[in-house]
Amino acid sequence: MKKNTLASYNIQLLFWAEIFGNFRFIQPVLTLFYFARGLDETMILLVMTFFSIGVLLGELPTGVIADRFGAKRAFLIGSFLSILAHGLLIFAFDPWVFFASSFLTGFAATFFSGADEALIYESLKESNEENLMDRAMGQIGSARFIVSIFVVIIGAFLAKDLNENQFRLLLMLGVFFMLIQFIFLLFIKNPPNQGGVRTPMVKQVIEGYQAIRKTPQVLWMFINISLVFIPAVAIFEKFDQKLLVDAGLPVYGIGIVYAVTALIGFVAARSIGWMTKRVTRVQLLFITGILAVLSLTAAALLHTQLWTVLLAIVLLKLVSAIRYPVYSQLANDIIPSNVRATTISLLSILDSVFDLVIFTTVSGVAPFGFKPMFLVCAGIALIGTLIPIRKATS
């Protein structure tokens, strides 16, 4: 990747913004925090459902905002709402406060969803490097893995007794570092051809819909990504702490496990260019999809065995690190520039619908235990993996 370009500048800033935005020290004990505050498995899945509702309601208007006013403004609004949502958890004892925090977190995420890809792809086009989109997204995404190496160890250590004062400290530290993220986002530079769209909003949305309709392969590959990501990452990561503890790992050990897997995820995210030189992007998506299915199946059948849980966590971290950057390259090679963020937001609405359907389905199975819950997750991931995808031909 060329130096001293708009792309390198924005990628570096987003990398550091991603680092400080992921200093969420509550993460390694989040599920245990939920249980300590009185939530059960079904309520935790409902918390996730409210996140999806926030995403569903926010995706379209925030994508339009990014195309009309630029990614920078969208990032700043999203960062402010994220800080507010995380701060709410300090006072969350009743379910409705958890729901409100989750809803705001989902809504805030939509200000980044689509806008980040649009910003990076259009920045890369300025220096004729758009073919490096997957590497750029992998580099930015690697930030959350490298910061996890430190955050999960510190967070798990500070919350080793799982008491109220420790939880509050972790949450306040998270808010502090998210404020630093906000400062970094102030220095983002919008590409000349990103933002400033003056098309009426309805027409802008219609153009985004037409972009998907004309190239249905982007829709199919998005469905493939979503049906694997939701059960293998979104759901599994909400219960991996409980799986580890139930399998005999002490609480302080969770931080060590997360740190090791974060390092693995960091290396994988930084090695996407190396991988795509050896196998095609489509093949890479299929391989990681199968890994997700096998990991969820193993977790379902052998979740009392610590080694099985550890292996599943490692493999699913690889899946998380690799799949989205590869999809981002394939999709953005197809999506037109003028409605890039809007089109990605339209696709993400579908993702939110899948979230709601899958979370509701899995929450109905959750009371029967981890085995049926993760078998259902494995089945959903298999359906997603088998959806055929292909790269742009023009």
Q: Is 134 within 8 Å of 276 (Cβ atoms)?
A: yes
Give the list of residues 6+ apart from residue 119 with CB closer than 8 angstroms, or none.
10, 14, 71, 72, 188, 190, 191, 194
Q: What are the tens digits of pLDDT across the range 316-333?
A: 999 988 998 888 888 878
Residue ranges making up the domain that contains 49 = 6-386
Average confidence (pLDDT) over 134-150: 83
| pLDDT value at 393 more than 60 | no
Q: For the chain, how many structural domains are there in total?
A: 1
In this predicted structure, which of 139-153, 264-278, 369-383 has the lowest mean pLDDT?
A: 139-153
Tokens of 47: 């918390």
Give the list of residues 6+ apart from residue 281 with CB closer than 8 angstroms, or none.
134, 326, 329, 330, 391
Q: What is the pTM of this model?
A: 0.71
Residue 73 resides in a domain: yes
Average confidence (pLDDT) over 52-79: 83
Task: Report the alpha-carbon distance of residue 204 to residue 198 in Å, rounded.
Answer: 9
**Burial status of residue 86 (CB atoms within 10 A of its CB: 0-12, 13-18, 19 or more):** buried
| pLDDT value at 40 more than 90 | no
pLDDT number for residue 389: 80
38: alpha, beta or left, given left = phi > 0 and alpha = psi -120 to 50? Answer: left
Task: Report the alpha-carbon distance of residue 156 to residue 254 in Å, rounded.
Answer: 7
Q: What are the tens digits of pLDDT across the range 330-373?
A: 887 877 666 676 777 778 778 878 888 888 888 888 888 889 99
Residue 391 resides in a domain: no
Q: Tell how many helices (H) and how many strands (E) occur in the chain.
A: 17, 0
pLDDT number for residue 156: 79
Residue 270 resides in a domain: yes
pLDDT number for residue 198: 62
pLDDT tier, 137 (very low <50, low <70, confident <90, very high otherwise): confident
Residue 320 resides in a domain: yes
Task: Report the alpha-carbon distance of residue 275 to residue 394 in Å, rounded.
Answer: 23
Mean of pLDDT over the chain: 86
CA distances from 50 to 111, 232, 353 (A): 17, 19, 12
User: If you write DSSP's letter for every residue of 184-230 in order, what string do you get?
Assistant: HHTT----TTSS---S-HHHHHHHHHHHHHH-HHHHHHHHHHHHHHI
**Strands of 189-338, DSSP E:** none
Single-letter amino acid code for the residue at 262: A
**Highest mean pLDDT, choosing among 197-206, 331-340, 370-379:** 370-379
Q: Is 34 within 8 Å of 44 (Cβ atoms)?
A: yes
pLDDT number for residue 105: 93
| pLDDT value at 394 more than 60 | no
Residue 261 resides in a domain: yes
Task: Report the alpha-carbon distance of residue 55 to residue 107 in Å, rounded.
Answer: 5
Of 340, 380, 116, 351, the closest CA to residue 222 belongs to: 351
Q: Which helix (H) or strand (E) is 3 found in, with range?
A: none
**Burial status of residue 296 (CB atoms within 10 A of its CB: 0-12, 13-18, 19 or more):** buried
Q: What are the tens digits of pLDDT across the range 7-20?
A: 899 999 999 999 99
Q: What are the tens digits of pLDDT across the range 235-254?
A: 898 888 889 988 988 877 87
Tokens of 192: 């000349």
Of 108, 92, 101, the closest CA to residue 34 belongs to: 92
CATH of the domain at 57: 1.20.1250.20
Q: What are the tens digits of pLDDT across the range 28-37?
A: 788 888 888 8
Task: Report the alpha-carbon distance of residue 87 to residue 355 in Å, rounded.
Answer: 24
Residue 393 resides in a domain: no
| pLDDT value at 65 more than 50 | yes
Q: What are the tens digits of pLDDT across the range 70-106?
A: 889 889 999 999 999 999 999 888 889 999 999 999 9
| Residue 304 main-chain phi, psi, to 5 deg | -85, -10
Average confidence (pLDDT) over 207-231: 86
Residue 344 resides in a domain: yes
Residue 232 is classified by DSSP as I
Task: Report the alpha-carbon distance of residue 79 to residue 181 in Å, rounded.
Answer: 8
Other C-beta atoms lying within 10 Å of the C-beta of residue 192? 10
pLDDT number for residue 338: 61
CA distances from 8 to 3, 69, 157 (A): 6, 22, 36
